[in-house]
Amino acid sequence: GIQVEQSPPDLILQEGANSTLRCNFSDSVNNLQWFHQNPWGQLINLFYIPSGTKQNGRLSATTVATERYSLLYISSSQTTDSGVYFCAVGIQGAQKLVFGQGTRLTINP
Amino acid sequence: DAGITQSPRHKVTETGTPVTLRCHQTENHRYMYWYRQDPGHGLRLIHYSYGVKDTDKGEVSDGYSVSRSKTEDFLLTLESATSSQTSVYFCASQGQGLGSPLHFGNGTRLTVT
């Protein structure tokens, strides 16, 4: 099956810093989504982005499907950005997403 | 966010007992999913549904069954709970097309003693 690798596994930053999280996948995809799991365990959908670039406030994401990777950018980090970020991918014809292992982001005040 | 409610939020049960977790969504979403989350394993798909009475297995379906008698409700049953099924269970739903965002409920923490 498709493999999804996220890097780095852990990232610790000071408030105000910028960060880039990466998601590599092993096959062509037609569905890619980014999620944030906050410290209370809630999973929030950030982006549906099978290709191209999207922005939502301080967050933006870019997927280069031909090169099989996606990047999540967080600018001017805040402590509320802490948590685990997951990417999930789906392939043509499949009704299920495969999740990466996540990147744990800690933003210190 | 999407209106997805899971119940109960927490449950402790004994080995060998049946357990049913409920997921209710108010978005008229066609697709619904059950995942479990465990340290070191991330999120793994248990079962999913692509319509009323239409369900299929995910990657970790052994020991679990599901039912979907109405669009809004998706039930997950542990037929005879084991300690290896101690986990956090998340329900998720997705709109009419597979190319729409996946939204999660707040999870159910299940402990099997």
CATH 2.60.40.10 fits A4-108, yes or no: yes
* Cα(B16)–Cα(A95) distance, integer angstroms: 32
pLDDT of res. A77: 97
Mean pLDDT of A28-47: 95
Chain A residues in contact with B103 by the CB 8 A cut-off are 45
pLDDT band at residue B2, thresholds of 50, 70 and 90? low
Residues paired with B46 in a beta bridge: none
* Lowest-pLDDT range of A16-25, A46-55, B89-98: B89-98
Find which of A32, A45, A56 to mutate to test the B interface (most B CBs within 10 Å of its CB).
Answer: A45
Interface residues of A toward B, Cβ cutoff 8 Å, are 30-31, 33, 35, 41-45, 48, 50, 86, 88, 90, 95-97, 99-102
pLDDT of res. B1: 53
Residue A91: both structure tokens together: 């392939």
Option in B42, B88, B100 nearest A99 (CB): B42
Task: Give, in order, the Cα–Cα distances in Å from A81 to each of A57, A65, A90, B93, B105.
Answer: 12, 26, 25, 24, 20
Find which of B35, B37, B43 to mutate to test the A interface (most A CBs within 10 Å of its CB).
Answer: B43
Q: Cis omega before residue B101 (within 30°)?
A: no
Average pLDDT of the residues of chain A: 95
Regarding predicted confidence, which is higher, B97 or B58? B58
For residue A51, pLDDT over 90 is answered with yes
Of all residues in chain B, what percent carry a pLDDT higher than 90?
A: 86
Give the total number of structural domains in chain B: 1
Chain B residues in contact with A31 by the CB 8 A cut-off are 98-99
* Lowest-pLDDT range of A55-64, A66-75, B37-46: B37-46
Find which of B27, B44, B98 to mutate to test the A interface (most A CBs within 10 Å of its CB).
Answer: B98
| Structural contact between residues B52 and B71, judged by C-beta atoms closer than 8 angstroms | yes
For residue A68, pLDDT over 80 is answered with yes
Give the structural domain span for B13: 4-112
pLDDT of res. B98: 66
Distance from the B76 Cα atom to the nearest Cα atom in chain A, whole angstroms: 17
Closest CA to B3 of B36, B35, B29: B29
Residues 6+ away with beta carbon under 8 Å from A17: A77, A107
pLDDT of res. A91: 81
CATH of the domain at B105: 2.60.40.10
Residues 6+ away with beta carbon under 8 Å from B15: B81, B82, B83, B112, B113
For residue A94, pLDDT over 80 is answered with no
pLDDT of res. A85: 98
pLDDT of res. B36: 97
